[in-house]
Chains A and B, each alone.
Chain A
Amino acid sequence: MQPDHLQPSAFTLATARMHEVMGTGWYSFALYQATKHNGTLFWIAPEKSNQTLLPDGLPRNVAHRLHLIRPKNERDLLWSIEETLRSSAVDLVIAEPQKPLSLTAGRRMQLAAEKGQTTGLIFVREGQGSNACETRWKCHPLADQYGNLTLHHWQLIRNKRGIIGDWTVSWNGETDTINMVPSARQRYRTQETTDHRAVRAGS
């Protein structure tokens, strides 16, 4: 039996707020949030970024709702985040600014999100966030040594209204729901006596 704060509802981002996410697995968290919002999605990335989303690898019902904005410079990028957050036709705005967010920029996004009743999820690098954000997440992909799960380690490291937490979840994009996974030691306590090499595949 898991305590309440371990239920997936803990990952619901508050609307009319700006949130931050960091870590190498940030886009998985962003895509999970995209499946949880039913309206128009915006993904704002600089024009020079060579990474792009592959529609075949995205969860269902995300690709056709997604709009990409490719601003040419940082100033335009921040402006487009603010502009999209302020529009009430938008549901979720995911953005990757290149420079550290200043408190002013963060606060402006926060105010814009309040105006449009939208949710913002901004990717920041380690230690570069803004104090104006509602929550800050740190996300990393996790290897499943013995099983076949797509594991993620999602850590809530800042929360203005609520507690912080630390979860291991399993989500591979096929369904809208995620599964909470107990820590590896608990899972495989019974298997500890077996030979790990035999269970391992591939390597």
Chain B
Amino acid sequence: MALADARAICPDLVTRSSDLPSEALALVSIRRWASRYSPIIARDGADGLIADITGVPHLFGGEAGLRTDLQERLSRFGITAGSAIAETRGAAFALARHGGGIIAEGNLKRDIGKLPVSTLRISNDTVRALNRLGLSKIADLTPLPRAPLVRRFGQGLILRLDQALGQQSEPISAETDLPHFGVRIHFPEPIGLQTDVTGGLKRLLKRLCQTLAQYERGARRLRLYLCRVDHDTAIIEIGLARPMNAPERIAPLFSKGINELDAKFGIEAMRLVAHITEPLKPEQISYCDTRQTNELTDLFSSLGNRLGFDQVQRISPANSTIPERSFVHTPAAYSKIKKSEAHINTQRPAIIFPPEVIRIDYPAPPGTPPARFFWRQSKYRTIKATGPERITPEWWFDDPSWRSGLRDYWRIETNEGLRIWLFHAPKIQQWSAQGTFI
């Protein structure tokens, strides 16, 4: 049904746009949870999961017990879901989307015969063509001769039909999960010295980095849990400017946290977890090149861990004619250098600031800049003016500071030496300063 029709029927209808990436993420986490029912479980389409439960149901008291357990737990999470158990993947898919239930062994052909052909995972065009021929249920298809069906609708329909009826096999390939990147160490005696903690950390890092390297991944954030004797836990968390799996480069970042740590009665266990990891391919090592970038990355890591990774920035060009939006500050740890060969534009200031209204005692005639003005409590006399350069606001973007309409910019050289960027907003008849030149 079209949204307009739905709104006409129910004017109070609340609509939300769908968020596909988050839905996919949610499905991934449900899949991970659902692995309690079967080791072989995979995503099936955008909204489903398929599990091979061969040999599992007796653990839950039979197929009915398994399904009840699944439905109960899902509804406790607040998830409305339909589920079905059948001999074949195609039949389970069809039934789960049409009421759900369990197809007992041997009843496959009878039970899915009642379902419409649209549940066979075939294209909408095929469904429409079948319906036009009066073939609306799966049971209508099964007795028909197959050759004319193939000639008319292609191999796809027959393949799906055979898969649903179990005449064609359709395996489920389970997706592999990344391992949990975490290691732990228990000490025979509680430790309290900084050197001991650092030593323990080194051992943990070595093991963790080996696992990371094996899966071609690098840690982006790490957490060190230090379990004290009195059953409470101190956590030291660090971030890295780049995915990394070199223990000797990660270890120094923990030193600040370890220095500030209070061991109290001693630490009896340590746990190190890389809770955010990113793919990291093995790199060609060369002396001159990597040394510089590695040192810069290490600098970003240490700056980012103290100041926050957002406070270390790069300037990237942006696509806008408005001067203050012609660039963006991106976190250096999460962006690449964008090199531009653009030459200096001498009509643009080197430093800009939010517009500051200047004081003018004797207004100049329209179309000319003021001959004298006050800015930041100093008096200036214009000796040279270049302009005006008219910049119009971007109408597709509502910027509060540009509500005053278009601006005429002037480069003003003053007798006092100051080279300043002034603009006049004709709509509000006001002169403001916005930058200073080299």
Contact = CB atoms under 8 A, between A and B. Distances in A.
A27 interface: yes
Contact of A54 (B341, B350, B369): B350
A141 B311 contact: no
B416 interface: yes
Interface in B303-362: 303, 306-307, 311-315, 317, 323-324, 326-327, 329, 332, 337-346, 348-354
A62 to B, nearest CB: 9
Contacts of A144: 413
A198 interface: no
Contacts of A145: 383, 415
B327 A54 contact: yes
Contact of B348 (A54, A64, A142): A54
A52 B296 contact: no
Interface string B389-427: 000000000000000000000000111111100000000
Interface stretch (A10-18, A84-92, A128-136): A84-92
Contacts of B307: 69-72, 76, 80
A150 interface: yes
Contact of B313 (A54, A59, A60, A70): A70
Given A60-B344, A66-B314, A67-B312, A83 B303 contact: yes
Nearest to A54: B352
Given A55-B317, A55-B326, A173-B438, A69 B311 contact: yes
A172 B346 contact: yes
Interface residues of A, number: 53
A151 B314 CA distance: 30
Contacts, number: 169
B438 to A, nearest CB: 5
A38 to B, nearest CB: 12
Interface string A20-59: 0000110110010000000010000001001111111111
A51 B327 CA distance: 14
A202 interface: yes
Contact of A173 (B293, B311, B344): B344
Residue from B315, B341, B352, B435 with most neighbouring chain A CB atoms (10 Å): B315
Residue from A51, A55, A72, A79 with most neighbouring chain B CB atoms (10 Å): A55
A200 interface: yes
Nearest to A88: B295
B264 to A, nearest CB: 28
Contact of A47 (B311, B339, B352, B385): B311
Contacts of A172: 344, 346, 438
B382 A203 contact: yes
Given A50-B353, A80-B303, 8 more contacts: A40-B296, A56-B326, A59-B438, A70-B307, A83-B299, A142-B417, A200-B383, A202-B383
23 contacts: A31-B350, A52-B329, A53-B351, A54-B352, A55-B317, A56-B344, A56-B348, A64-B315, A64-B338, A67-B313, A68-B314, A69-B303, A70-B307, A70-B311, A80-B307, A87-B296, A89-B293, A89-B296, A89-B299, A144-B413, A171-B438, A174-B344, A200-B383
Interface of A: 24-25, 27-28, 31, 40, 47, 50-60, 63-64, 66-72, 76, 79-80, 83-84, 87-90, 140-145, 150-151, 153, 171-174, 200-203
Interface of B: 292-293, 295-296, 298-299, 302-303, 306-307, 311-315, 317, 323-324, 326-327, 329, 332, 337-346, 348-354, 369, 371, 381-386, 413-419, 435-438
